[in-house]
Amino acid sequence: MTRAILDQAQIHSAARPLIGSKHKDIVREVQAAIAAHQVVVVGMALNPFPRKARKILDVLGTPYQYLQYGSYLNQWHRRNALKMWTGWPTFPMVFVNGVLIGGASELHKLVENGEFSSMLAKKVREF
């Protein structure tokens, strides 16, 4: 799957610095969490789907790092930087072994078909 991204030649040179630097702190924070933790959930307050993902992980006894950025009422500009970085349009964003697996529904599907436990075991064996 190739994600459509505007070619740099189609972006005016005056706009390029802003594109690369806007809210890069939030992206770096998520990247650091992904590097340090096997499972990371990125969410926001008042959204029931990050809670669903966390509940799935809690029931499984799977440790995870949770990062919460604002709610429907605030920090949406910062969250947009994460959406642009990942290409994933909604929250939560669930990462396993540094790979974006999607949101709560995708996590549930991976748990149901056994792939989630395989992903966790694979990383443990690498150490």
pLDDT of residue 124: 54
Distance CA 24, CA 1 (A): 25
pLDDT of residue 125: 47
Neighbours of 121 (CB within 10 A): 10
pLDDT along the chain (127 residues), means of 10: 85 87 93 97 97 98 98 93 94 98 98 97 62
Sequence letter at residue 92: P
Cα 59 vs. chain centroid, distance in angstroms?
Answer: 20
pLDDT of residue 2: 81
pTM of the model: 0.91
Domains of the chain: 37-126 (3.40.30.10)
Range list of H helices, the chain: 16-21, 24-36, 48-60, 76-86, 104-112, 115-126
pLDDT of residue 73: 92
pLDDT of residue 3: 82
Residue 42, CB half-sphere, CA atoms under 13 Å: how many? 31
